[in-house]
Amino acid sequence: MALYYDLPVYRDTYKLVLAVFELTKDFPKEYKYTLGQDMKRDALQLVRSIYRANKTVQKKDLLENFLDEFELLKLEIRLCVDLKIVSFKKQAEVTVLIGSCGTTPKSVRSDLSHFPVVAF
């Protein structure tokens, strides 16, 4: 029986979540509790979307939610660079993780469609 944590997109997204938490750890106080918290929440929402999509038959809405949250997180990371909160080097490291998530709509849907609904 396949579980959500067996999905490649889940493993890659989880690495991204860890990187976001590490990235926001050293934010200035002004941004730590605003932009930083939003980034953490959005990153965690990615993992939640994968979990929920894997356990249901109707995946489309949850996958669309995943893709929306993913785009928001990318925008927030770009904003951090523009505000000079994050260096280009750190942005590059996170961008590599973003690329490894394979988060095109087709690949995410493909990953989740190969696994049956898991009953708990």
pLDDT digits (tens, 9 = 90+) for 21-59: 999 999 999 999 999 999 999 999 999 988 888 888 888
d(CA 85, CA 44): 21
Query: Is 116 a residue whose pLDDT tops 60?
Result: no
Query: Is 98 a residue whose pLDDT tops 90?
Result: no
Q: What is the pLDDT of residue 33?
A: 94
Look up residue 108 and give its amino acid. Answer: V
d(CA 65, CA 75): 15
Burial class (CB in 10 A: 0-12, 13-18, 19+), 65: middle
pLDDT digits (tens, 9 = 90+) for 2-17: 677 778 888 899 999 9
Structural fold of domain 4-113:
de novo design (two linked rop proteins) (1.20.1440)
